Amino acid sequence: MIRFLTAGESHGKALTVIVEGFPSNILVEQDKINYELKRRQMGYGRGMRMKIESDEAEILSGIRFGKTLGSPISLLIRNKDWENWVTKMSHSVPESDAEKITIPRPGHADLVGVTKYYFDDIRNSIERSSARETAARVGAGSIAKLFLEKFGIRVQSFVESIGGVYPSVSLYDRLCENLNLSAEEINVISGRADESCVRVLDKIQEEQIIEKIKEAKKNGDTLGGNFCVMATGVPPGLGSYMHYDKKLDARIAFSIMSIPAVKSVEIGNGFLNADLPGSSAHDEIINDNGVFSRKTNRAGGLEGGITTGQNILVRASMKPIATLMSPLNSIDLLSGEKVQSRRERSDFVAVPACAVIAESMLAWTLSEAMIEKFGGDSIEETFENYKNYCDNLELKIIQNFNKK
């Protein structure tokens, strides 16, 4: 089993992540980790923090001469903003009283945090619930992506909508209906998304979204949106229906829903299928030149919690950022009286970043399932096991049915 553990507060000295369980000899280039961290920082509509930070991972352990050792990998991502917070985030009791935050922002973890942990300062909640933690996750996810690359598995994403502005044609719907795109084709799509400042695929939509973000900013408001994450090259047979916590669709939903501000996740045509008769909702099974495949991919690459070999298709929604410059009403916890909520530096839109984080989470969950199925202490051994299973897979199934 692989696992990772992140630590760090948003304005603390640094974020760290320990990644454990990957086999030895995976090629890891530091530039590739930093490339993913950079992608997470981008997007039109981010706040001032992203101008302060230029996230880079320092590798502290687990990698030698560009390859994993099989030992825990630890990464350190320094917070440049720390120098402005040394006193406010001091580990020891400060000499003078620090300003306490007493007004919780609606939609944030502020009130639930102080309620649960019995804090007398909302800052204690803000620091760990901040989406800054996701930089460490992307560090872990970038290692997962490098592991998956060995098997030709790619995880990519694009933004489908921001602030209710959708493209004229939904690529995601087309992917579910009849497009089982190759890794190269999905690469092109994701490359196009990376070229857009809001990670959409349609130029007209991009312009409309930029206008919408400008308007939201002017009004002191924020926007959310939908994004799609896809994986190509995934072999059939990952995950299991044997028990609820082995189902890969459930595990994917969990990993994407765990990203701050994500409020819904669907796999394939999840929501649409609820309105359709079964005959229009399922994917006919075909023999595509010896490969058992499906005519459509409405199931998003998963049946019975197990991968079908089709592309994995996930769509999720991110709620608008909860910190508003024109705040909603709240209460002051000093008095219990109604007041306007607090303003605090934040993003106006973070959907493009959320899609990049979701790539990491999907890559992580698929890596877990790959290691579960194929094991191995070295990547060579994992690959050998994978090849043994995948080579002539359909032929082996037919032979099994024909054996006397």
Q: Judged by CB, which is closer to ligand EPS: 114, or 186?
A: 114
Number of helices and strands in the chain (H, E): 14, 16
Shortest distance, CB of residue 239 to ligand EPS, whole angstroms?
30
Q: Which residues bind ligand EPS (CB under 6 A)?
A: 10, 47, 49, 81, 130-132, 135, 321, 345-347, 350
Closer residue to ligand EPS (CB): 81 or 372: 81
Distance (Å, rounded) from C-alpha 6 to C-alpha 201? 32
* Residue placing its CB nearer to ligand EPS in the complex, 72 or 107: 107
- The gap from C-alpha 330 to its chain's centroid, in whole angstroms, comes to 30
| Beta carbons within 10 angstroms of residue 126's beta carbon | 21
Choose between 136 and 238: whose C-beta lies nearer to ligand EPS: 136
Q: What is the DSSP letter of 13?
A: S
Q: For residues 139 and 239, which CB has a smaller minimum distance to ligand EPS in the complex?
A: 139
Tokens 């309620």 belong to 115
Q: What is the DSSP letter of 326?
A: S
Measure the N-to-C terminal CA separation of the chain; round to a whole number of Å: 37
Residue 69 has phi, psi (to 5 degrees) of -95, -10
Residue 110 beta carbon to ligand EPS: minimum distance, rounded to whole angstroms: 10
Q: What is the nearest approach in angstroms of ligand EPS to the Cβ of residue 42?
A: 11
| Residue that is written with structure tokens 């649409």 in the block | 272
Pick between residue 20 and residue 53 the one whose CB is nearest to ligand EPS.
53
The nearest distance, CB 163 to ligand EPS, in angstroms, is: 16
Q: Distance of alpha carbon 296 from its chain centroid, rounded?
A: 25
Q: Cβ 7 to ligand EPS, closest distance in Å?
A: 15
Q: Between residues 21 and 47, which has the closer beta carbon with respect to ligand EPS? A: 47
Question: Which CB, 135 or 162, lies closer to ligand EPS?
Answer: 135
Q: How far is the CB of 174 from ligand EPS (least distance, A)?
A: 31
227/349 Cα distance (integer angstroms): 13
User: Closest distance between ligand EPS and the C-beta of residue 307, in Å?
Assistant: 30
In one-letter notation, the amino acid at residue 109 is: A
Listing DSSP states for 145-188 in one string gives HHHHHTTT-EEEEEEEEETTB--SS-HHHHHHHT----HHHHHH
The contacts of residue 171 (CB under 8 Å, 6+ apart) are 158, 160, 189, 201, 228
Least distance (Å) between residue 109 CB and ligand EPS: 9
CB of 39 to ligand EPS, least distance (A): 12
Name, in order, each residue with C-beta under 8 angstroms of 164's C-beta and a sequence gap of 6 or more: 212
Nearer to ligand EPS, 40 or 145 (CB): 40
Residue 43 DSSP class: -
- Residue 159, both tokens: 């933004």
For residue 123, what are its two tokens? 């800052």
